[in-house]
A = this chain, B = another copy of it.
Amino acid sequence: MNLQQGITHKGLNLLLKLEPNIKKDLRATGRRMTRTRQAVLALLQRTRQPVSANEIFDQLQEEKVAIDLVTVYRTMHVLKELGLVFQLDLHQEGLSRYELKEGREHHHHIRCQICGLIVDLLLCPLKKVTKLIEQQTQFIVDDHTLEFAGLCPQCQ
C-alpha cells in the first residue's frame, strides 16, 4: 500500500492555469468570477492545511484584502456546489475546514491532538470494506469519512 505525505501544490503558478476553468464553471451556472472569489481561491491554492472560514478571513485581512466573513462562508458554499472544494468536519473541532480538490485524489487526514497539525494521508483502505458493507447492510454507500488523531512528532 502506498502512503505519501505532503503537498503537491505548486503555489501561485497554478492560479493562472486554474482560474479560467473555474471561471467557466461559475459562468456555466450563472455566476461570476469576482475579486473576492479570486482572493479566496488564491489563498486556498497556496495554503497547505485545510483552512476554516475564520482562518481564510484572518489571512486575507493580513494581506489587506477587504472581505467579509459572511462572504467567505458564501464563497465556500458556492465552491462546494461546484465540486471544487472538499469540506472537512474534523472530530471535536466544532467547525468546518476546506481544501481545494484541484485534481487531488481522494485522501484522508491525521490531526495532532496537541498542536492541531493536519497531515494528508494519500491512502484509502476502504474499497473492499465498502463492498462488504453494501452487501451486508443493503445500503448504497456513496461517501465515507476517515480521520485519525494522535500526536505529531513534535508534540510527543
Contact = CB atoms under 8 A, between A and B. Distances in A.
17 contacts: A89-B92, A91-B145, A110-B133, A110-B141, A113-B142, A113-B143, A123-B132, A123-B133, A130-B148, A134-B150, A137-B152, A138-B153, A144-B146, A144-B148, A145-B146, A145-B149, A146-B147
A54 interface: no
A interface majority secondary structure: mixed
A3 B149 contact: no
Contacts of A148: 130, 133, 139, 141, 143-145
What interface size band does chain A fall in? 35 or more
A121 interface: yes
Given A89-B89, A92-B89, A145-B91, A139 B150 contact: yes
A139 B152 contact: yes
A136 interface: yes
Nearest to A135: B3
A14 interface: no
A86 to B, nearest CB: 11
A8 interface: no
A151 interface: yes
A134 B150 CA distance: 9
A91 B147 CA distance: 11
A1 interface: yes
